[in-house]
Amino acid sequence: MATPPSITPASLPPATTRRFVLPGRALAVLAALLLVLAGCSGDDGGGAGGGEPNTLRLGYFPNLTHATALAGLQKGIFQAKLGDTKLDAHAFNAGPAVTEALFSGALDASYIGPNPAINAFTKSNGEAIRIISGATSGGAALVVKPGIESAADLRGKTLSTPQLGNTQDVALRAWLDKQGLKTTKEGGGDVKIQPQENAQSLETFQAGKIDGAWVPEPWATRLELDGGGKVLVDEATLWPQGRYVTTHLIVRTEYLRQHPAEVEALLRGQVEANELVNTNPAEAQKLVNDGIEQVTGKSIDDAVLSAAWKRLAFTNDPVADSLRTSAANAKALGFLSDDNLEGIYDLSLLNKVLAEQGATKVDT
């Protein structure tokens, strides 16, 4: 943390204004930066850098589980729906960085995983954010070394997750607990859990330093194809109809109150982008891969992309029941003091858009 993170502009399609990657290891530096941005943006929930009222600042991750965001940005769908409102899109690498940006007023909306959204809601006493749409369901798995055939074989083994207390970390610990295997936040217990970045998990798995990892796509597929692992648990098998939220769209509550028209336009883009990824997967995969390469400098191998895509479902439904279960698991594991999510959803504008298109409304 001693070295400040670099912020590097990336070349983007006309749909976005600028995009930068924020390494998750430098939250202290990030916080200072965001306070500066928030001071410049004013309190109207408007634009970045000069208080422009007609700017919507959107966050997303360069991950396969954020395919809707990536395809929508690359295709120019969001900007087209927003019209005169300028879209200012930013890529992040970690949920805490997104919530810090939302809290400071430097970001208006973001695609994000369930646990960071829960944390933002509970830490702000239900004030800071609202979930306004689903985006992605599925796409996480526990991949282990060959020879590990059951949960019992994991006793004494070391597994990794992307981050302590994140969505996959909670999912793994909750599953292990149901198998009678205890874990601790410090990495002790019957099964040792060693949080590390997804790319590092692949390296340590290949080097034999860990025995498996519970990770999102495309990393689960990469552990299989590049690391020689096998899926012990596809998380979809643990949920009713295999549906559980992986990514949803959240908005800063104050921005939603002050700029409902812009939020509705963003949701029109969300619905159209999801239609694209569902009806034209070949085009969508190329758009998503191009977007990932623009941000990270590296694309996903076509074989990995195609295999990982099959574990993902793209939906406007936020799969609310799965979020409540995740919150209850996080509380039981000591990562959350309060799992009351009353008021976290506001699907009114999404359902307005869906109704106009003759699509089925979603509820919580």
Residues (pLDDT < 70) of the chain are 1-53
pLDDT recorded at residue 303: 94
pLDDT recorded at residue 33: 40
Provide the strand spans (E) within the chain: 21-22, 55-60, 86-92, 109-112, 129-138, 140-144, 158-160, 192-193, 212-216, 230-234, 245-252, 312-314
Domains of the chain in start order, with CATH, are: 21-138+243-356 (3.40.190.10), 140-242 (3.40.190.10)
Q: Are the C-beta atoms of 237 and 323 separated by less than 8 Å?
A: no
pLDDT recorded at residue 18: 37
What is the rounded distance in angstroms from the CA atom of residue 363 to the CA atom of residue 317?
8
pLDDT recorded at residue 28: 42
pLDDT recorded at residue 19: 40
What is the rounded distance in angstroms from the CA atom of residue 202 to the CA atom of residue 200?
5
pLDDT recorded at residue 20: 38
CB atoms within 10 A of CB 86: 17
One-letter identity of residue 183: T
The pairing of strands 129-138 and 86-92 is unpaired
Q: Is the pTM of this model over 0.85?
A: no
pLDDT recorded at residue 53: 55
One-letter identity of residue 6: S
